[in-house]
Amino acid sequence: MRDRSPLSAPEGGEGVRSAGHFLTAAAVRERCDVVFAAAERGGTPHFRLALGRLDEAVERVVAVTRRQYPDLDVPFHSRWRHFSVGGVDRAALVPDADPAERARARLDLAIVSVLLDAGAGPQWQYREAATGQVLARSEGLAVASLRAMQRGLFSADPANPWRADAAALAAISVKRLAAAFQHAPDNPLSGLDGRAALLCRLGEAIAAQPAIFGAPARLGALYDFWLARRAELPAPEMLVLILRAFGPIWPGRLTLEGVPLGDCGRHRAVPGDGLVPFHKLSQWLTYSLIEPLADAGFVITDIDGLTGLAEYRNGGLFLDCGTIAPCDEALFQQRLDPFGEAVVEWRALTVALLDRLSAKVQDRLGKSAAEFPLAKVLEGGSWAAGREIAAERRPDGGAPLNIVSDGTLF
């Protein structure tokens, strides 16, 4: 009988891959490398590689890293960096709680905040009442989600706002989310309806899995689930659980053997099924769970088993530096389907290039891969360099490609 436990190993041989294989970081790296190899041969229809321009991206990442972290003491890429924007430490959740409850609350916040971290749009801003700071993009979404949790938006228990439970998530309305995120006609948050629907599906999904999320269900019960099994957690296994547990929240996407594949597209360069998984938000979430779990005493291993993130800051860095170039410049003027082949190709090349950029950045900084893993390159790093060059190239600092978003992917 096939093992359907959340932490079961990938299945399938080299010729035929089962659904379980595509719910792994290894599959992301494997399939993105297939597309990259095709691009090296000149066999990709939408973009070409100019690997001689990779050094420009490397120099930018090194410069940004040294500027942000002069001592090169770079934390892992994580949502937690955004909670301290503007020099304000906002992450002291439930200070009077015991360590276990504090860990649960931090998992609650990280999961909700990451899932709400699709592109906000160029016009949206969040004004934080407590500090007067006006924040936009990822930092604004982070602080808005934290303040929403502080006010109990994600909790069904009025006496305990610092939690995200199934009952409250399943009842989230567009109106309440709009108010919490200060959405208005003159301050539009992109994909608001999609974000609200995503949270509702999240509540329903965890309520249906009491073995993982408890009863009544809450996101932070992942702490107890993992604690009961091991104190040492490989990061790729964490991702597998996240992908299996949260698979039902991504409707209308590709499925295989009845299993939702989530953030996964197709590309003609991949023989057979053509599938190319990315799991951008889920990997971003896994990176963001490492810190609270490590602080709670877990030992997180094989962090480099995760991949770089196939999103518009990392991908934009390579486009803006010319490492990736469109075969037809008209692509820059088109509105692109996020699961269309052109975007799948761009994202696959981004993941593969991040591995190659990481090795070069480590060399330039005089660090080994163990001392300065991919998670530090991303934080140091590639994401910030992508944002910086975007601001230089375009007045709104947006992505170089115009991708139609529903608020649940980019």
| pLDDT per residue as tens digits for the range 353-405 | 999 999 999 999 999 999 999 999 999 999 999 999 999 999 988 899 999 87
Q: pLDDT per residue over 105-157, tens digit each?
A: 999 999 999 999 887 888 999 999 999 999 999 999 999 999 999 999 999 99
> Mean pLDDT, to the nearest integer, of 201-230?
95
The residue with tokens 């949206």 is 124
Q: What is the pLDDT of residue 408?
A: 64
Tell me what pLDDT residue 9 has. 32
Determine the pLDDT at residue 230: 72
Per-residue model confidence (pLDDT) at position 7? 33
Query: Which tokens is 188 given?
Result: 């539009």
Which whole number is the average pLDDT over 30-52? 98
- For the cut 70, the answer to whether the pLDDT of residue 81 exceeds it is yes
Read off the pLDDT of residues 329-358 as tens digits, 9 standing for 90 and up.
999 999 999 999 999 999 999 999 999 999
What are the φ/ψ torsions at residue 276 (nearest 5 degrees)?
Answer: -135, 100
pLDDT of residue 36: 98
Residue 1 has pLDDT above 60, yes or no: no
Q: What number of other Cβ atoms are within 10 A of residue 11's Cβ? A: 14
Taking the CB of residue 355, how many other CB atoms lie within 10 A of it? 17
Q: Where are the beta strands (DSSP E) in 218-372?
A: 232-234, 255-256, 259-260, 264-266, 275-277, 299-301, 324-326, 335-336
pLDDT band at residue 45 using 50, 70 and 90 as cut-offs = very high
At 93 the pLDDT is 74
CA angle, 223 as apex, 292 and 84 as ends, to 5°? 25
- Is pLDDT above 80 for 92? no
C-alpha distance from residue 64 to each of 152, 157, 215, 378 (Å): 37, 43, 45, 11
| Mean pLDDT within 44-62 | 98
38 falls in which pLDDT band (50, 70, 90)? very high
pLDDT value of position 406: 64
Alpha-carbon distance of 283 to 238, in angstroms, equals: 9
In the numeric block, the tokens 């860990």 are attached to 103
Q: Cα separation of 345 and 25, whole Å?
A: 17
Q: What is the pLDDT at residue 250?
A: 86
Q: What's the confidence (pLDDT) of residue 88?
A: 87
Cβ atoms of 125 and 134 within 8 Å: the answer is yes
Q: Which residue would you say has higher pLDDT here, 97 or 173?
A: 173
Minimal CA–CA distance to 161: which of 243, 221, 218? Answer: 218
Residue 47's SS3 state is: strand
DSSP result, 133-191: -EEEHHHHHHHHHHHHHHTTTT-S-TT--S--BHHHHHT--HHHHHHHTT-BTTBPPTT
Domain-by-domain residue ranges, the chain?
19-403
Longest CA pairwise span in the chain (Å): 61
What 3-state class would DSSP assign to 318?
helix
Instruction: Give pLDDT, residue 320.
Output: 98
pLDDT digits (tens, 9 = 90+) for 152-198: 999 999 999 999 999 999 999 999 999 999 999 999 999 899 999 99
> pLDDT tens-digit profile of 259-306?
999 999 999 999 999 999 999 999 999 999 999 999 999 999 999 999
pLDDT score of 313 more than 90: yes
Buried b (16+ CB within 10 A) or exposed e, 388-409: bbbeeeeeebbbbbebebbbbb
Q: How many CB atoms lie within 10 A of CB 134?
A: 11
Q: What is the pLDDT of residue 102?
A: 93
Beta strands in 33-113 (DSSP E): 47-49
- What does the mean pLDDT of the chain come to? 92
CB 77 within 8 A of CB 384: no
Q: What is the pLDDT of residue 407?
A: 61
32, 47, 59, 146, 241 from 76: Cα distances, Å: 23, 30, 20, 20, 21
Predicted confidence at residue 13, as pLDDT, reads: 37
The Cα 378–Cα 384 span in angstroms is 8
Give me the long-range contacts of 88-91 (CB less than 8 A, separation at least 24): 88/131, 88/133, 90/143, 90/146, 91/146
